[in-house]
Amino acid sequence: MPDLALFQPDIPQNTGTILRLSACLGVTVHVIEPAGFPLSDHALRRAGMDYIERAALVRHVDMSTFEAWRASEGRRLVLLTTSGATSYLDHAFQASDILMLGRESSGVPQEVHARADARLTVPMVAGLRSLNVAVAAAMVLGEALRQTGAFPRPGDASPSTGG
């Protein structure tokens, strides 16, 4: 099943919303630190509500640690970026993909772009800059789950609850 990865997130409400999304869809979220806020239940609770306890969250102390883990697992990195040349609608997702979203304030550095196996964008009306990171995550994750047949079935448990 595809995972989500957040590169040094800035806004706790967006991270909480993405954790809620992941809990509801049974997807793991990887947070590459440092975050721009304390990664605590209190900081995430407002947007994540009581779903935070059900979210599968993996913390990586930095990008090097994340990359070492990713290499050991043989996972493909799919970067969602406003500078991508390929629409997410034209991409063939794999179950082992990790969909990475950058910092709300600055995206990801060039070295992360260079490590990505694919760089995708969400098509938008000309002249507009970007979508909210949680909205973009939901759109692209939905397509990845559809293509890989990984949407949860009624009664499925989330990864953090043994399902």
Per-residue confidence (pLDDT) for residue 49, from 0 to 100: 61
CB-based contacts of 106: which residues, under 8 Å, 6+ apart?
none
Within a domain: 58? yes
How many separate domains does the chain show?
Answer: 1
- Nearest partner of 79 among 66, 71, 88, 92, judged by Cα: 88
Within a domain: 48? yes
Within a domain: 34? yes
Per-residue confidence (pLDDT) for residue 161, from 0 to 100: 42
Within a domain: 162? no
Give, in order, the Cα–Cα distances in Å from 86 to each of 4, 56, 60: 19, 29, 28
Within a domain: 116? yes
Within a domain: 97? yes
Per-residue confidence (pLDDT) for residue 53, from 0 to 100: 79
| pTM for this prediction | 0.90
Boundaries of domain holding 67: 3-153
Burial 117-154 (b: 16+ CB within 10 A, else e): ebbbbbeeeeeeeeeebbebbbebbebbbeebebeeee
- Nearest partner of 11 among 48, 41, 43, 53, judged by Cα: 43
What CATH number has the domain bearing residue 94?
Answer: 3.40.1280.10
Q: What's the rounded Cα separation, in Å, for the pair 34 and 1? A: 26
Per-residue confidence in pLDDT tens, the chain, 163 aa: 999 999 999 998 899 899 999 999 999 999 999 998 887 766 666 655 677 778 899 999 999 999 999 999 999 999 999 998 899 999 999 999 999 999 998 899 999 999 999 999 999 999 998 899 999 999 999 999 999 999 998 876 655 444 4
3-state SS class at 37: coil
Neighbours of 15 (CB within 10 A): 28
Per-residue confidence (pLDDT) for residue 157, from 0 to 100: 67
Within a domain: 8? yes
Q: What's the rounded Cα separation, in Å, for the pair 33 and 2? A: 20
Per-residue confidence (pLDDT) for residue 52, from 0 to 100: 77
Stated as kind and residue range, the H or E segment containing 12 is helix 12-25
Within a domain: 37? yes
- Nearest partner of 53 among 163, 137, 142, 160, judged by Cα: 160
| Strand-pair partners of 98 | 3, 77
